[in-house]
Amino acid sequence: MRTVDLPNGRSLPVMGLGTWRMGEARSDKAAEIRVIQKAMDLGISLLDTAEIYGNGGSERVVGEAILGRRDSAFIVSKVAPSHATRKGTISACEGSLTHLGIETLDLYLLHWRGGVPVSETIDAFETLKAQGKIRAWGVSNFDVDDLEDIPDLTECSANQVLYNPQSRGIEYSLLPLCQSHQIPIMAYTPFGQSGAVLKNAAIAGVAHRHNATPGQVILAWGIRHPGVVTIPKTATLARVEENLGALSLQLTAEDLAEIDRAFPPPRRKSSLEML
């Protein structure tokens, strides 16, 4: 598993497992735990969750899946903007730790920017670090101007944003800014929402040339950038194995040009897309 370096000296795997929509139905719980454990068996240690996913249900599923395997997992969770005051952030983090059944989060993110001053949330993050409850902090859904409000960008360990061939606006200015400050980009929803990317003829053509699947091409396309991490969510064991195949897929200049023709790169700054 390739990694990117974090400011605290630790490493962030370039591929993880997203858990949005997990923990919402009790009938799916056993299968969701199997998927997470299978991912870990195959070397995927990065598990991304959030307090709002299933109202804590996702965190509980992750917690059960990593029982007895905490040292093999890199756990990321997020505080909701409505809880992002100094006191609220600390309380939310403690709630997430309880759901997960662990003592420390590897990375804690502000899910998106709300009405609370960013400096106040960061103050809470630093308190949590001092208490040993988180190892690092970062943000999610932050655009260029949002990042400019962070007093010291060298302390920000990640920016989790929407990124896929259909939604590549970050390439214009946000991605270069993050790369210049060595802030990893965590790409969520890498396959897009509508399924159009997976069904695209250009993607299929590239996949055929490499004897790969469209999903593998899309993931390899995302992590071709230095400092970009992808966190695809899947509910099936077979898809976990398929996704890992993207790590050994090297796209050529011809491949990238073909994808650019199907999904043109941005030519100007646009508002940050988010889900």
Annotated binding site for substrate: 111
Cβ–Cβ < 8 Å for 168, 162: no
Q: What is the DSSP string of the chain?
A: --EEE-TTS-EEESBEEE-TTTTS-GGGHHHHHHHHHHHHHTT--EEE--TTGGGGHHHHHHHHHTTT-GGG-EEEEEE-GGG-SHHHHHHHHHHHHHHHT-S-BSEEEE-S--SS-HHHHHHHHHHHHHTTSBS-EEEES--HHHHTTSS-GGGEEEEEEE-BTTB-GGGTTHHHHHHHTT--EEEESTT-SSSHHHH-HHHHHHHHHTT--HHHHHHHHHTTSTTEEE--B-S-HHHHHHHHGGGG----HHHHHHHHHHSPPPSS--PPP--
118-130 and 86-100 helices cross at what angle (nearest 10)? 50
Long-range contacts of 53-56 (CB under 8 A, 24+ apart): 53/19, 53/20, 53/21, 53/22, 53/23, 54/21, 54/22, 54/23, 54/24, 56/23, 56/95, 56/96, 56/99
Residues identified as active-site: 53
Structure tokens at 216: 């593998």
